[in-house]
Amino acid sequence: MLIILLISSLYSWTIILGKLSLFSKVTRESRRFIRSFRKASRLQEISTLAADFKSSPLAQVFEDVYETYKRQTGGSGPPRNMAPLERSAQTAASEAVTNLERRLTWLATIAGISPFVGLFGTVMGIVEAFLGLGAEGTATLRAVAPGISEALITTAAGLFVAVPALVAYNQFAARLRVFAATIDDFSRELLNSMEEIPVRSGVPGPRAMSSTIPEGGRELPTRG
């Protein structure tokens, strides 16, 4: 039982440390990308910048939506139909969140089964204590101590594995909800910006290009 709990503990901590690093990188790159997005004046410029933020789900959403926009318009002018862009944004957002939550279910599983594994070890330890008691024929500490000590150690080990996994799972689930909300906010801001792209008429001036992002935009919510 202790070997199973040890393996579970090592695996859960591998997931925990990996997710901490990933979520920190995602948060950092997403904030940098949204700042670059709002400073840029052209979609092509943002597309070039997005390649530098591969870990950001916001950049992933932008790239998918921009690809749909280019197929629809050839890369210039306002979108002819916003529905395909909205579907691309929804699909990209769903894929981004799914990638972020990968392996998190293992934390929930480990947190759920570890106490039962420890409890099973406890039962086996008590059985061993009774067997020792039967072999000795008398109720002495020497007869029951090995089984009882093993039972207590297994119980403590089960809790030691389960508690960090449960805490980490709840924290990561909360951060995922923040990421999902931020992605939705960005998707709406991106689609609004594309919808407001002006139609080119005549010979454009330097700021009247077809795929220019309108100035302004909401601030990225600061979450977690």
- Over residues 178-218, the pLDDT tens digits come to 999 999 999 999 998 888 876 543 333 333 333 444 444 44
Could you tell me how far CA 201 lies from the centroid of its own chain? 44
**Apex 56 CA angle, 173 and 166, nearest 5:** 15
> Number of helices (H) and strands (E), helices first, in the chain?
6, 0
CA distance 170 to 172: 6
Region 107-118: mean pLDDT is 90
| Distances 139 to 127, 148, 149, 167 between C-alpha atoms, Å | 14, 13, 16, 41
Say how many domains are in the chain. 1
CA distance 66 to 42: 12
10 Å Cβ neighbour count for 161? 27
Domain hosting 188: range is: 2-195
Residue 214 lies in a domain: no
CA distance 186 to 223: 14
Eight-class DSSP state of 61:
H
Q: Check residue 201 and give its pLDDT.
A: 35
Residue 187 lies in a domain: yes
Q: Is the pLDDT of residue 124 over 80?
A: no
Residue 22 lies in a domain: yes
Could you tell me how far CA 78 lies from the centroid of its own chain? 33
What is the band of 39 on the pLDDT scale with cuts at 50, 70, 90?
confident
Residue 213 lies in a domain: no
Q: Check residue 219 and give its pLDDT.
A: 40
Indicate the burial class of 184 (C-beta count within 10 angstroms; 0-12, 13-18, 19 or more): middle
Q: Is the pLDDT of residue 175 over 80?
A: yes
CA distance 85 to 190: 10
What is the band of 87 on the pLDDT scale with cuts at 50, 70, 90?
very high
pTM of the complete model: 0.76
Q: Check residue 199 and give its pLDDT.
A: 55
Q: Select from 37, 38, 69, 68 the least CA-distant residue to 50.
A: 37
**Apex 164 CA angle, 161 and 166, nearest 5:** 100
Residue 204 lies in a domain: no
Q: Check residue 135 and give its pLDDT.
A: 63
